[in-house]
Amino acid sequence: MSQVFREGLLDGQVCIVTGGGSGLGRVTALELASLGAQVIVCGRREEPLQETAALAPAGNVRAATCDIREEDQVDAFVDGVVAEHGRIDLLVNNAGGQFMVPAESITPKGFRTVIRLNVEGTWLMTHAVATKAMIPQRGGKILSVTLTPHNGLPGMVHSCAARAAVDNMMKVLAVEWARFDIKLNAIAAGMFGTDTFLTKYPKPIVDGAAATVPLQRLGRPEEIAWLVAHLASPAGDYTTGSVIDVDGGRNNYLGTWPPGHESDDAGNPLAEARRHLRTDEVPPRAG
Ligand SMILES: CCCCCCCCCCC/C=C/C(=O)SCCNC(=O)CCNC(=O)[C@H](O)C(C)(C)COP(=O)(O)OP(=O)(O)OC[C@H]1O[C@@H](n2cnc3c(N)ncnc32)[C@H](O)[C@@H]1OP(=O)(O)O
Ligand SMILES: NC(=O)C1=CN([C@@H]2O[C@H](COP(=O)(O)OP(=O)(O)OC[C@H]3O[C@@H](n4cnc5c(N)ncnc54)[C@H](OP(=O)(O)O)[C@@H]3O)[C@@H](O)[C@H]2O)C=CC1
């Protein structure tokens, strides 16, 4: 049962969540399913996908392997969903990722790998779902999980370039495909404490992450899932071409918060003393 939305909110919807075998994708798939949607999760590995399916009490999550970088696999996967369910209402492009290394150490193959996964994979899924289901049925929603801060993360130049491309892909398609009533948005995630996030990156980065967020904590995966559910519901029908930051305020401030050199001994941000106006300084009333 959803902690936020009413039961049956997404009854009858057919939703795809890529990368639904873990992390943000799993929690999102289960939230959509708890609201009545039929959800199909895909990824490269069968086992985690089946685990997600088994976690849905109503049995309305189905697992299918698909490498989103491979055109023939994407076509077969989307054809299969359309053959079984007759339509697709929501695509969540969540599958993606990168490795963190200084730019000068990234090989051409490494750069291509990240661009191919995040840009081409997202494009292949988006194009297949639109042409095989959403354009013929005249409607649908596509959400792509990307990344904040928008002015970049050192150590992730390939992914930052890729996610900026996807943000813009959603914006352009939101204009082009408005005539088919397809709404597209990007959800730019800050830092969320998924298993991958907590185990993949160097420990000092993970340990120090919350301190760089104005809200002083990592995001919880449900906080992405709830936004997806909101946008999938009628509440999202007028939102298209947007990049929505879900990052505890981090995109707006790139440093520790409060900044170490600008806080007092208790860690409170410094503030100037308030200057009290003396009565003889009060300016005379006009007129
Ligand atoms: C002061 C700095 C402050 C910075 C603060 C940053 C804080 C962190 C913010 C994080 C925000 C984002 C979080 C997340 O996205 S968490 C979720 C991440 N999830 C994933 O990344 C999952 C998906 N990822 C993958 O599958 C892989 O990482 C990959 C994208 C690489 C794709 O895997 P694939 O199996 O296709 O690729 P390979 O492993 O075969 O590798 C292919 C080539 O890529 C290069 N490579 C891969 N890994 C590395 C590495 N660790 N270092 C350098 N190069 C790498 C390499 O060229 C590989 O080819 P070769 O194996 O032939 O060398
Ligand atoms: N956690 C965070 O702080 C942030 C995450 N993000 C993004 O959110 C998304 C989810 O992240 P998170 O849940 O943390 O990470 P995970 O690593 O748990 O999720 C990535 C998922 O993508 C799937 N995947 C990877 N490559 C492919 C592929 N070629 N084809 C199909 N599926 C693939 C993986 O499954 P499999 O390996 O079986 O294919 C996995 O289930 C990612 O795009 C990530 O970059 C963005 C900002 C912050």
The confidence score (pLDDT) of residue 98 equals 98
CATH of the domain at 245: 3.40.50.720
Measured distance CA(137)–CA(122) in Å, rounded: 21
Closest ligand 1 atom to 154 CA: 2
Q: From the first residue on, what is the mean pLDDT of each consecutive set of 10 residues in the chain (287 residues)?
A: 94 98 98 98 98 97 98 98 98 98 96 98 99 98 98 95 98 98 98 97 93 95 98 98 97 76 75 74 68
Is position 155 within any domain?
Answer: yes
Is position 58 within any domain?
Answer: yes
Report, in this order, helix, strand and coil percent for the chain, each rounded to 5.
45, 15, 40
Is position 281 within any domain?
Answer: no
Q: How crowded is the C-beta side of 252, counted as CA atoms within 13 Å?
A: 8
User: What is the pTM assigned to this prediction?
Assistant: 0.94
Is position 240 within any domain?
Answer: yes
Is position 267 within any domain?
Answer: no
The confidence score (pLDDT) of residue 180 equals 98
Tokens 């830092």: give the residue: 191
Task: Spell out which residues line ligand 1, taking CB within 6 angstroms.
Answer: 97-99, 101, 107, 109-110, 113-114, 117, 147, 153-155, 191, 196-197, 200-201, 205, 209
Is position 266 within any domain?
Answer: no
Ligand 2 centre distance from Cα of residue 261 (Å) = 36
Range(s) of the domain holding residue 245: 14-255
Q: How many domains is the chain partitioned into structurally? A: 1
* DSSP conformation class of 210: G
The confidence score (pLDDT) of residue 264 equals 79
CB 38 within 8 A of CB 10: no
Q: State if residue 94 touches ligand 2 by the CB under 6 angstroms criterion.
A: yes
Q: For residue 125, give the nearest of 180, 197, 84, 64 by alpha carbon.
A: 64
